[in-house]
């Protein structure tokens, strides 16, 4: 059974509330960035009537979204690269790339969500859970 529209809105609400509390995505730690991207990706999947997998890592969730036609190969490649950098690299030189990819992926997923349903990226304070 595909999760409900309310489940998608909950995910977007979490992301938007975090994004409103910071000036820039770069202020967030790497784990929080992965959590935000995963919530956005799962929310978009639900809006497109695809049930997101629950026990897989971000790359595998993105692979499922790619297989189901929810995201394009370019976005999948960005998500995969970000996840590899975050999980495998402790190099200080990767910080700039993480910031760039984080912003790019979040912007693309928010755009995809708003193209699917323009109401999800409006001020989510009107939704009560």
Nearest to 106 by CA among 26, 35, 10, 36: 36
| DSSP string of 35-87, one letter each residue | HHHHHHHHHHHHHTT-PPPSSS-HHHHHHHHHHTTSS-HHHHHHHHHHHHHHH
What pLDDT score does 4 carry? Answer: 86
Question: Along the chain (129 residues), what's the average pLDDT of each consecutive run of 10 residues?
Answer: 80 89 82 91 93 89 96 96 82 72 91 86 48
Question: Domain limits of the chain?
Answer: 5-120
Instruction: State the pLDDT at residue 124.
Output: 47
Helix 73-88 × helix 30-47 angle, to 10°: 150
Report the distance separating Cα 28 and Cα 111, nearest Å: 21
- State both tokens at 120: 């999800």
Tokens 């200080």 sit at which residue?
92
């Amino acid at each position: 059974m595909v999760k409900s529209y309310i489940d998608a809105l909950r995910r977007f609400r979490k992301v938007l509330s975090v994004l409103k509390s910071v000036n820039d995505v770069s202020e967030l730690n790497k784990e929080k960035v992965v959590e935000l991207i995963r919530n956005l990706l799962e929310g978009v999947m639900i809006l497109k009537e695809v049930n997101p997998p629950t026990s897989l890592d971000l790359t595998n969730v993105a692979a499922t979204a790619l297989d189901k036609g929810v995201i394009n190969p370019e976005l999948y490649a960005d998500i995969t690269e970000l996840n590899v950098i975050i999980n495998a690299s402790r190099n200080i030189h990767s910080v700039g790339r993480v910031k760039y990819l984080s912003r790019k992926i979040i912007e693309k997923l928010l755009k995809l969500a708003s193209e699917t349903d323009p109401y999800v990226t409006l001020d989510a304070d009107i939704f009560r859970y």
